[in-house]
Every structure is written in structure tokens, then in C-alpha cells.
Amino acid sequence: MTSRTYRATLPELTRVQICRLIRDRPGLKSREIASRLGLNRRELNRFLWYEGKVSRGLYVRNWRWYDSGERQPPIPPAVRIPAGTGITAPRTVCGVLSGMNELEAIRQIRRLDMVAIEKAFSEEEYSSLPDVLKIELVQRLEQLKNEALAGSRGSAPLHPLVGFGLLVVGVAILTRLLLLSK
């Protein structure tokens, strides 16, 4: 599996227009956004799924885009900087998380992909993270694994009302059985 790096190809003004459109008209699909703004859908999706989700506070539900209203600083990529240049290296995932307040860090963790989370587990700063953030990282990793497993099976998760309906039917059956056993 090859890893791709995101490189911004859209001008900043266009990126701001995308975010403004999503904020003003939540629930648009990427093809609708692309047609309204006259953008290449591939470049739009690259922006939405990388920069949009990580640092612009955008999220997607059922392929429709929404603005959470929360802006997060992006987690910088790991880059090697020659010693003696006076430039400090970008911080690690755990370093960025430890520099945020707890709520911001939890929100950031919930946006991370599997590669970033696995990277966080291998960093030296991981041991100094608060337990709450360690638990959140483990839960996010499990969530991503479950989503990947469900995707590989080709099954979609049940709608909450279907699950509730099954619960009601189960309780009714148990109640009936208890009444019959008396």
C-alpha cells in the first residue's frame, strides 16, 4: 500500500469558497459542490478529504458534507531537517495532541486516519499523553478497524431505528415467554 501526500492544488480563495458554501448550504454532495463552483471534482475531493476534514472542520455523513464550525491546526507531516540549521522540526502527532486542550485533542483524534494513529502509538511522546487521550486513540483505531471490516464484508451498519425495533420485538417476545411460563 503506497501512501500519498496531500498537496494543495486549489487556490486559497477557492478553498474558502468551498468552506463557505458548505457552511451556508450543509448537506451538499461533492458533485453538487463541484458543479456550483465550477471545480474539478477530483481536486475538490482531494481538498475535502484531506485538508477539509483535518484542519477546516468539515465532516461527511452519507457522502454529504457539513461544517462543524471547529477549526483545528493540521497535524504536520514528519520531515527531516538538517541539524544546525536553527529550524525546529515539526512536532509529532502526540506532540501536537499534547499541546491542545483535552477537548480539542479528542476532536483531532476523531479525525485521524489509521496511519496517523498507528504512528502515534510508536512515538516516544505517547507515554506522556493523558490516559483519556490514549483511550481515545485506541477507540479510534478500533472504530477504523471495524469500519474496514464492515466495508470488506459489504454490509452496512443497521439504521438506529431498525436496531431499536429489534430491541422492542425482543422485549415483547421475552415478556410473552415470561407470562406464558407463569
Instruction: Give residue 79's pLDDT.
Output: 42
φ, ψ of residue 66 to 5 degrees: the values are: -135, 160
Burial class (CB in 10 A: 0-12, 13-18, 19+), 15: middle
Q: Mind listing the pLDDT tens digit for each residue in 124-178? A: 888 888 888 888 898 888 888 888 777 766 655 556 666 667 777 778 887 877 7
Instruction: Give residue 31's pLDDT.
Output: 93
Is 21 a residue whose pLDDT tops 50?
yes
Could you tell me the domains of the chain? 1-71 (1.10.10.10), 72-182 (no CATH)
Q: How many residues does the chain have?
A: 182
Confidence band for 85, pLDDT divided at 50, 70 and 90: very low
The answer to whether 131 and 138 have CB atoms below 8 angstroms apart is no
Confidence band for 121, pLDDT divided at 50, 70 and 90: confident
